[in-house]
Each structure stands twice: as structure tokens, then as C-alpha cells.
């Protein structure tokens, strides 16, 4: 598939943040609309410029909240975009959809948003039960978590490649080191060592509490437009040099570790080929890290290391501040905040715009100013995947 | 050593697609759909064969023998009603006849578990249903 005609044609031009961490007394929608307001202000456009509003999937309303839909968010922003949509479940189509919409000329600006009150609302993420009754077959086996589905692939990788907690602790510690440089990260001021990692409770063996992303209140939004328009806006544009998208819509239990149809593998090949880059050209990775193991699996499936070399490759020194391959420089979902794919994408954009303060690559001792950052967005249990190769230069 | 015992969780929510499987379980038979056209075993259950899209389906009783592809050990109860049931093991089992199934491994020590171990099916009767679980083959 030749996607080279799309290279550097679309740019990300604005990022919107909200207060994050534990922010009680607010609806999920309030975080979406605050993030969108801040993103369009950051991009220097008005709300009437929003041609398409694409909202991430939303879990069930919690804590007395109402359902968070794209209609609600549109209403609360007072906008009437040509396109309004919401990703159902955990599909990751927003990237290609945005590019299609912008290239078609139907819309000039696309806004993507995510928001939740998961932390204050104590979201359980158990979808196998509703009101204490099974919603499908899985509850009959006591399988009540997404975490177990990831844990099974992690276990298989332990047996096949020799990975395990001694590798995942490196990811956990590396990202926690980054969080110490990011004042808005949930784990800022809470350093972690290996002992602390091992001391965390086992939740679904082989995964511990610190292998999993904690939930957050807050939201995040980004603005995309064409390269021509991007050049006239106030922020330095961050160009989409390569994109990949792939799905493996099978039951998570049927995913095989060694399968070249895996979504991350297919998606990354597409993106690297379109961008015309090799792994050595990548200055940093901002990866969807619902679990530590997801970072390992993504780097492996993207071809950054050979499966058998996992222990040598994944070290806190390499991935952390000053390392050879910085990964999740905001702290990631594990140590900054969980806003689905917008945690990694927003951080990559901010790094390439040079707006990252103490954690800015190029300023962190031993790091270089980034030209190319690779991002991943992962949905379901490795079932839906998008890859972005973002670049400072067009 | 922690011994994993068989326990009952929740009655499954059964659909038109999965009904035959759960009917089989009631008779302590492991029954999966099989495509009449291409011969592929099907799990999860569905109306068409995802391999060849044929709707010609037969039911196939399996030996109940397989190997563990992988497994996860629940230490945290994700619902108050399973608080007294942890730790328990959810596993993916590759059946001899060529389908993968999600189930539990019971009657074993946690330290005995490994990917690739041979297992065989047992059935546990619950209220109004039965479910397959697997034990390590000695
Ligand atoms: Zn068939």
C-alpha cells in the first residue's frame, strides 16, 4: 500500500489540557469541553472553525453522571460541525478518519477529544457484569477484567521470550523517572525504585498494581488541519509523516503472540514505510501504555528489538531521561494520566513543538532535540491499533 | 502451596449463538460448532464460519483434551461476590481438535502451572447451568 501521497499533508496544531489527577465534583463531559476549548485556543482557531468533532469511546456513566456522547459535547460547546462522531468500544479509527475528512475538503479542522471522571467516580472497568449479572459468557469463569486478557499474553511472552516482572519494572521505573520532570503528572514527587515496584500487590498474576495504569479525572484534546493551513497558525506545526492503522478483531483469548497479522505489527510497518524511516531515525516513542507489558509488546511488534533480546533492550536507562530511546516522556499513562491515545499523542506534539519544560528532549541532559517521534494508540486488547510518525519538518 | 479449588462464579448470559455450547455443558459434553464446508471448529460461537462464511454448521463433541496456551491468576477480586474465591485461574486452552477456549484451571497448585501443560475437561454444575473447567493431566 503506497500512502506516500499523504506524507506531511496533515498537521497537529493545538493541544488542550485540563486540570488532571483527582478533580472531584465534575462530569466527564466537563473535561471534554474544557479540553476542546483549550485546544482550539491553543491552535488559534474559533469553535465555529471545528468542521469535525470526533470523541473517543466513553465507558458507562458513573457517580450520578449522565451519558457522555458526541451530541452532548457538541451541545455544550455550542457547535454544529459537519461531522460529529464517537468511536464505539475501543476502535481506533480517528486518525485515518481525520485525514480522510481533511483531504476531502469537507472540513478544515478536526478536533479529537477524551474526558472522564474515572478517578473520583471510582470507575471499575468491569464490563463482564452489570448489576451483579453476567453480560456474556466470561463471568461464568470469573473473568472480570481487561487486565487478565493482557496478563495472559504477558504470561505467554514470559514463557516464550523470557520476559517478566524484571523487565516490566524497568518500564515502570523509567516512566516514573520521566514523571519527576513533569509537574502535572500524577506521580510527580513520588519517585519509584525497583523495590517499590516489587512491593506492589499482585492483581492478576503476572501483573502487579504498578503494571497497570491508574485512572484519572480530566481530559485532553488535539486539533488537526491541513499542512497549508497549519503554516499560517501560531504554533509550529507537527506534521503527520507516517500513519498506520490495523485491526485484529478476534476474541482477546485468540490472539497469538507470534502472528504477523497482529495490529501493532501491521500498523507500524505501514507507518514506517509511508514515513520512509527506519528505527534508528526515531528520536523518541510515545506509546499507549495501559500496562507495562503493552509498552514492551508495542516496541517488540514495531521491530525495535528482537523478541529474544527483550531483557537487554528494555532498561530504565535506555527508556528513561537521558536514555538512547526515550519512551513516554510525560510519564505516560502509567505515571502521568490516562486519556487513552491522547496521552501519547499530545506529549509527542508538545515535545516536537518544544513546549515540555524540564522534560523537554534536547534540554534533558544526554538527550537530543527530537525531529521524529513515533506514537501508538491501542484499543481493546491489542485488537485495534494506530501508529503515527510525527515530524517537526515537512 | 496454594491449592486452586473449583468454585462457582456467575451464571453465563447465553445468546442464540452460544446456546448449543451451554446445552452441551449441561450434559457434561464439550460441544463446539464446526463448519460443514471447510471443517473449521468455531469458538466463540457465531452464525457463520469466519473462515469461509458458510452457514452450514454442525455440532461437534470434543475429547476435552488440550494444552494451556496461557493463563492469568486473579488475586484481586474485581467484584465483592468473588472476594472469597481468589486466587483463581482463568486460562486459554488449545483443544486437541483445534479450537481455543477460555476456561478455568482447577484442582492444582499455583506453582504447577505452566504454558503448554496438557489438560483435560471436567464439568462443574452451577444453578441452572454447568461450565467446563480443566485439570492438569497427570
Ligand atoms: Zn468454513
Of B74, B79, B104, which is closest to A129 when you measure between CB atoms? Answer: B79
Nearest to A393 by CA among A6, A4, A8, A12: A8
User: Mutate which of A145, A161, A253 to disrupt the B interface (most B C-beta within 10 Å)?
Assistant: A253
Q: Is residue A205 part of a domain?
A: no
End-to-end CA distance of chain A: 21
Supply the pLDDT for residue B6. Answer: 80
Q: What is the pLDDT of residues A289-324, one digit of tens each?
A: 999 999 999 999 999 999 999 999 999 999 999 999
Rounded to whole angstroms, how far apart are CA atoms A50 and A303?
A: 37
Residue ranges for chain B with pLDDT beneath 50: none
Supply the pLDDT for residue A44. Answer: 98
Joined together, the cell numbers standing for residue A110 give 478536526
Supply the pLDDT for residue A1. Answer: 82
Whether residues A159 and B69 touch (CB distance < 8 A) is answered with no
- Taken in order A53, A59, A60, A64, the sign of the CA dihedral is negative
Q: Is residue A20 part of a domain?
A: yes
Of A140, A205, A254, which is closest to B131 when you measure between CB atoms? Answer: A140
**Between residues 35 and 64 of chain B, which touch chain A (CB distance below 8 Å)?**
44
Q: Is residue A118 part of a domain?
A: yes
User: Contacts of residue A205 in chain B, CB cutoff 8 Å?
Assistant: 72-75, 87
Q: What is the pLDDT of residues B110-131, one digit of tens each?
A: 999 999 999 999 999 999 999 9
Q: How many domains does chain A have?
A: 1
Which domain CATH number covers A256?
3.40.47.10
Sorted by where each starts, the structural domains of chain B and their CATH numbers stand as: 13-61 (no CATH), 63-138 (2.40.50.840)
Write b or e for each residue in A290-307: b if 16 or more Cβ atoms lie within 10 A of its Cβ, otherwise e: bbbbbbbbbbbbbebbeb
Residues 6+ apart with CB under 8 A from B18: A137, B12, B44, B45
Range(s) of the domain holding residue A318 = 4-123+213-391
Joined together, the cell numbers standing for residue A143 give 473473568
Distance B35 CA to ligand 1 centre (A): 5
Rounded (10°) CA dihedral A130, A20, A172, A90? 40
Nearest to A253 by CA among B31, B111, B99: B99
Whether residues A152 and B100 touch (CB distance < 8 A) is answered with no
Instruction: Please list the helix, strand and coil fractions of chain B in percent, rounded to the nearest 5, in that order.
Output: 10, 40, 50
A vs B: CB pairs below 8 A? 112
Contact A235, A44 (CB under 8 A): yes
Whether residues A140 and B92 touch (CB distance < 8 A) is answered with no
Q: Is residue A288 part of a domain?
A: yes
Q: Is residue A306 part of a domain?
A: yes
Q: Is residue A227 part of a domain?
A: yes
Q: Is residue A173 part of a domain?
A: no
Of A129, A133, A251, which is closest to B44 when you measure between CB atoms? Answer: A251
Residue ranges for chain A with pLDDT beneath 70: none
Q: Is residue A129 part of a domain?
A: no
Chain A contact for B74, CB < 8 A? yes
Check if the interface score ipTM surpasses 0.85. Answer: yes
Contact A116, A59 (CB under 8 A): yes
Joined together, the cell numbers standing for residue A16 give 488542550
Amino acid at each position: 500500500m503506497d500512502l506516500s501521497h499523504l506524507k506531511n499533508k496533515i498537521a497537529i496544531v493545538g493541544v488542550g489540557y485540563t486540570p488532571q489527577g483527582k478533580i472531584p465534583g465534575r462530569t466527564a463531559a466537563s473535561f471534554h469541553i474544557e479540553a476542546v476549548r483549550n485546544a482550539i485556543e491553543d491552535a488559534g482557531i474559533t469553535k465555529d472553525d471545528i468542521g469535525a468533532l470526533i470523541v473517543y469511546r466513553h465507558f458507562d456513566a458513573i457517580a450520578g453522571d449522565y451519558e457522555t456522547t458526541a451530541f452532548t459535547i457538541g451541545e455544550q460547546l455550542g457547535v454544529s460541525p459537519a461531522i460529529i462522531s464517537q468511536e464505539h468500544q475501543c476502535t481506533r479509527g480517528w486518525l485515518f478518519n481525520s485525514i480522510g475528512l481533511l483531504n476531502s475538503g469537507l472540513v478544515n479542522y478536526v478536533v479529537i477529544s477524551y474526558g472522564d471522571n474515572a478517578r473520583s467516580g471510582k470507575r471499575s472497568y468491569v464490563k463482564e457484569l452489570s448489576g451483579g449479572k453476567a453480560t456474556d459468557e466470561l463471568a461464568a469463569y470469573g473473568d472480570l477484567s481487561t487486565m487478565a486478557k493482557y496478563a495472559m499474553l504477558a504470561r505467554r511472552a514470559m514463557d516464550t521470550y523470557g520476559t517478566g516482572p524484571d523487565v516490566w519494572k524497568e518500564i515502570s521505573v523509567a516512566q516514573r523517572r520521566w514523571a519527576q520532570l513533569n509537574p502535572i503528572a500524577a506521580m510527580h514527587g513520588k519517585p519509584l525504585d525497583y523495590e517499590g515496584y516489587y512491593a506492589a500487590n499482585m492483581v492478576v498474576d503476572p501483573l502487579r498494581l504498578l503494571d497497570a495504569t491508574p485512572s484519572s479525572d480530566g481530559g485532553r484534546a488535539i486539533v488537526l488541519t491541513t499542512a497549508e493551513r497549519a503554516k499560517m497558525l501560531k504554533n509550529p506545526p507537527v506534521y503527520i509523516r507516517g500513519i498506520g492503522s490495523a485491526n485484529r478483531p478476534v476474541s482477546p483469548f485468540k490472539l497469538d503472540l507470534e502472528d504477523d497479522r497482529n495490529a501493532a505489527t501491521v500498523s507500524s510497518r505501514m507507518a514506517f514505510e509511508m514515513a520512509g524511516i527506519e528505527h534508528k531515525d526515531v528520536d523518541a516513542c510515545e506509546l499507549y501504555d495501559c500496562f507495562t507489558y503493552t509498552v514492551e509488546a508495542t516496541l517488540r511488534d514495531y521491530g525495535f528489538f528482537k523478541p529474544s533480546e527483550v531483557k537487554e533492550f528494555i532498561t530504565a536507562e535506555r527508556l528513561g531521561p537521558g536514555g538512547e530511546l526515550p519512551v513516554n516522556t510525560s510519564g505516560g499513562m502509567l505515571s502521568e494520566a490516562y486519556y487513552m491515545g491522547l496521552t501519547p499523542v499530545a506529549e509527542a506534539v508538545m515535545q516536537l513543538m518544544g513546549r515540555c519544560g524540564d522534560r523537554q528532549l534536547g534540554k534533558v541532559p544526554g538527550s537530543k532535540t527530537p525531529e521524529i517521534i513515533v506514537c501508538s494508540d491501542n484499543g481493546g486488547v491489542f485488537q485495534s491499533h494506530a501508529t503515527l510518525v510525527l515530524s517537526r519538518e515537512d | 502451596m496454594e491449592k486452586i479449588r473449583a468454585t462457582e462464579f456467575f451464571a453465563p448470559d447465553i445468546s442464540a449463538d452460544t446456546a448449543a455450547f451451554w446445552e452441551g455443558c449441561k450434559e457434561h459434553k464439550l460441544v463446539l460448532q464446526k463448519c460443514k464446508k471447510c471443517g473449521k471448529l468455531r469458538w466463540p460461537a457465531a452464525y457463520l464460519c469466519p473462515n469461509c462464511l458458510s452457514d452450514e454448521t454442525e455440532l461437534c463433541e470434543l475429547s476435552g483434551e488440550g494444552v494451556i496456551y496461557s493463563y492469568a491468576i486473579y488475586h484481586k477480586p474485581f467484584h465483592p461476590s468473588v472476594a472469597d474465591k481468589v486466587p483463581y485461574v482463568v486460562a486459554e486452552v488449545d483443544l486437541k481438535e483445534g479450537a481455543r477456549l477460555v476456561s478455568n484451571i482447577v484442582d492444582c497448585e499455583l506453582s504447577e502451572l505452566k504454558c503448554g501443560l496438557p489438560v483435560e475437561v471436567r464439568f462443574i454444575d452451577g444453578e441452572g447451568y454447568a461450565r467446563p473447567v480443566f485439570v492438569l493431566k497427570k
